[in-house]
Amino acid sequence: MIEIRFHGRGGQGAVVASEILATALFKEGNFVQTFPEFGVERRGAPVQAFLRFASEPIKIRYKVYNPDHIVIFDKVLINQVPIFEGLKKGGWVLINTPSPPSDYKFPDYKVATVDATAIAIKYNLGPKTAPIVNTAMLGAILRILPLVQIETLEEGIREYIKKRSEDNILAMREAYHATKF
């Protein structure tokens, strides 16, 4: 079983990203679970989403305490919430930032970065002051963790995002190629 924990802020699309990825994983024959955890339910408040998948039925039903990988939608959260708590050694840390991975010194983990914010702004995904970075982050996830075929992920995006799905797919594909690790 693989477990991924998403850390973001309300409005960035972390919950929807976990649902889209879960859908793609399911379409390719995996058993999946995904669910969010909200604090104060308002735009900008820290949120978490949990995703687990396996080739056999998943019998546990609790949040992800020891993720294999984490996805950080807002780099500021690194200093605000216990993001690394329980992360398994050798796991990926994917960060939405224009900075290169070498700027982050996490010796027990592999680091990848992508400027999902700039990509979301380029494709007008949400307002410039609060862009929706979920599909760009999905492209970056797929680059470091080839979990599903890119076409399957596109199907998931089309199912979840009815308006401007093609712009979201373009953002996902651009982030896939722009991810640094």
- What total of structural domains would you count in the chain? 1
| Token output for 157 | 């995006």
CA nearest to 83, candidates 179, 5, 1: 5
Determine the pLDDT at residue 162: 92
**Taking the chain, what is the end-to-end CA distance rounded to the nearest angstrom?**
24
- Of all residues in the chain, the percent with pLDDT exceeding 90 is 92
Average pLDDT over residues 4-8: 97
pLDDT of residue 34: 96
Predicted local distance difference test score (pLDDT) of residue 41:
61
pTM for the structure as a whole: 0.94
| pLDDT band at 42; cut points 50, 70, 90 | low
Mean pLDDT of the residues in the chain: 95
Q: Are 46 and 167 in contact (CB under 8 A)?
A: no
Task: Output the domain CATH number for residue 17.
Answer: 3.40.920.10
Q: Residue 78 sits in which domain range?
A: 2-178
Higher pLDDT, 87 or 40: 87
Segment 16-38 mean pLDDT: 96
Q: Which residues of 22-58 are buried (b: 16+ CB within 10 A; e: fewer)?
A: bbbbbbeebebbbbbeeeeeeeeebbbbbbbbeeeee
